[in-house]
Chain A
Amino acid sequence: SQQGEEDPQALSIQEGENATMNCSYKTSINNLQWYRQNSGRGLVHLILIRSNEREKHSGRLRVTLDTSKKSSSLLITASRAADTASYFCATFGWGANNLFFGTGTRLTVIP
């Protein structure tokens, strides 16, 4: 399977702390994407990082990509209660026709 795997499966932190989620994948990729899903809602795209990029920032989000280790991390700084959600990585492989989603990390931010 090309699916990514997120680690940890669940994470609980206090408001104001940083949250780090990791994603590992198996095949060579064109790009890797992170999505957020609030309970009962559709997924929202957060950030896309291409295979020739090593780090990308968007507001309080920082994504790194290590293609040699086939892994990525998502860092959310200064977390807020509103960040409580599930976070998914998704990979788009070279020659592929679609994204493959991981099983997600459930983040709980305690006010």
Chain B
Amino acid sequence: NAGVTQTPKFQVLKTGQSMTLQCAQDMNHNSMYWYRQDPGMGLRLIYYSASEGTTDKGEVPNGYNVSRLNKREFSLRLESAAPSQTSVYFCASSGGKTGLNYEQYFGPGTRLTVT
């Protein structure tokens, strides 16, 4: 039982490049989330998926897109990376009927640097 896995662990991009962060969970959770964490700040929600087939914007969605590929997988795409997107990105999942108000399980994070 791997829990929540994320790839890659580290990534360096040049401004304007694109990339996709991958996330998968094996806990049969309905809901999945993408957060970013910047120094001195808490986690901020980028996008979430309450259930398979749905996605919604969080607090800081600009510059990102997501895809809920199936119940297990939720990817985050940066179409044209900017230095302001340098951050640590965390994927999380939660269970329950809709899962939104339950505890969340986090992946190990992806450290992204945009130069």
Contacts and interface: CB of A to CB of B under 8 A. Distances in A.
B79 interface: no
A43 B109 CA distance: 9
Interface stretch (A13-21, A60-68, A77-85, A95-103): A95-103
Contacts of B106: 35, 42-44
A79 B35 CA distance: 29
A48 B92 CA distance: 16
A88 B43 contact: yes
A101 B103 contact: no
Which residue among A45, A48, A97, A99 has the maximum number of chain B CB atoms within 10 Å of its CB?
A99
Which residue among A44, A90, A98, A101 has the maximum number of chain B CB atoms within 10 Å of its CB?
A98
Contacts of B74: none
Given A103-B42, A104-B42, A97 B104 contact: no
Interface residues of A, number: 25
B56 to A, nearest CB: 7
Contacts of B102: 48
A97 B100 contact: yes
Interface residues of B, number: 25
Nearest to B109: A42
Given A41-B109, A42-B109, A92-B100, A98 B33 contact: yes
A103 B103 contact: no
A45 B109 CA distance: 15
A59 B35 CA distance: 29
Contacts of A96: 100
B40 interface: yes
Contacts of A43: 43, 90, 92, 104, 106
Given A42-B108, A43-B90, A97-B50, 18 more contacts: A30-B101, A33-B103, A42-B90, A42-B106, A42-B109, A43-B43, A48-B103, A88-B42, A90-B42, A97-B56, A97-B100, A99-B104, A100-B42, A100-B45, A101-B43, A101-B44, A103-B42, A104-B42
Interface of B: 4, 33, 35, 40-45, 48, 50, 56, 58, 90, 92, 100-109
